[in-house]
């Protein structure tokens, strides 16, 4: 990844936030629903409310390759910047990005509104939802404070936060290493 520093103005906020090391982001029109990933020198400086409103953004960092050697679907790659923000917040090493994106590709194909209506969870009345396909009880247990309501389950930032917290707490960093090797399966 480049060591360039980018300035991104998140729609709906007055301040510009700085994202270091992820490449530059494209300017986003204020009227657009898709917003660039707001960033700061540390995740603690970012407003959770701004992150909740964050949409996909163009990845301009080093070319990303799926663990199987192929390319990521553009619908998945567009979440790479936001995934990095959550990874930094959860102290997950940046080298695990490709594995997390591979899991997103398998779980939702990059569709933040994806709902699984066919697996065993769905048959029990708790379909998994969002980029990383989290079920409601898991989401509520691992959601960021203030964002436990089910309406936030398909919000990209809150879905990623809950899912990555769950994986880290229950499986440890070894699961992320496994994903990086292409061993992507339900969790």
Measured CA to CA, the distance from residue 85 to residue 96 in angstroms comes to 13
Residue 146 has a pLDDT of: 95
Residue 184 has a pLDDT of: 80
- CA distances for 62 relative to 31, 96, 98, 166, angstroms: 29, 14, 11, 28
Q: pLDDT tens-digit profile of 151-185?
A: 999 999 999 999 999 999 999 999 999 999 988 87
**Mean pLDDT, range 5-17, rounded to an integer:** 30
Q: pLDDT tens-digit profile of 100-118?
A: 999 999 999 999 999 999 9
Q: For tokens 């960092």, name the residue.
A: 61
Where exactly are the structural domains of the chain? Answer: 5-180
- Average pLDDT value for the chain: 80
**Is the pLDDT confidence value at 13 over 80?**
no
Tokens linked to 141: 């247990």
Q: pLDDT tens-digit profile of 108-160?
A: 999 999 999 999 999 999 999 999 999 999 999 999 999 999 999 999 999 99
Measured CA to CA, the distance from residue 186 to residue 162 in angstroms comes to 15
Give the confidence band of 92 by pLDDT, cuts at 50, 70, 90: very high
pLDDT over 70, % of the chain: 75
Contact predicate 109/76, CB 8 Å: yes
Note the pTM of the prediction, 2 decimals: 0.77
Give the confidence band of 60 by pLDDT, cuts at 50, 70, 90: confident
Residue 47 has a pLDDT of: 82
């Amino acid at each position: 990844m480049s060591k360039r520093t980018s300035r991104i103005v998140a729609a709906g906020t007055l301040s510009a936030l700085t994202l270091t090391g992820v490449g530059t982001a494209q300017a986003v029109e204020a009227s657009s629903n898709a917003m660039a990933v707001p960033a700061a020198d540390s995740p603690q400086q970012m407003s959770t409310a701004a992150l909740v409103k964050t949409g996909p953004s163009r990845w301009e960092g080093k070319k990303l390759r799926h663990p199987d050697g192929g390319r990521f679907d553009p619908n998945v790659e567009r979440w790479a910047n936001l995934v990095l923000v959550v990874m930094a917040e959860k102290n997950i090493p940046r080298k695990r990005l490709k594995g997390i994106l591979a899991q997103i590709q398998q779980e939702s194909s990059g569709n933040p509104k994806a709902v699984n209506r066919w697996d065993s969870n769905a048959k029990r009345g708790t379909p998994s939802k969002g980029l990383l396909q989290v079920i409601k009880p898991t989401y509520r247990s691992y959601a960021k404070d203030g964002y436990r309501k089910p309406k936030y389950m398909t919000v990209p930032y809150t879905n990623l936060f809950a899912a990555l917290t769950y994986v880290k707490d229950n499986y440890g960093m070894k699961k992320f290493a496994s994903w990086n090797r292409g061993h992507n399966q339900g969790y």
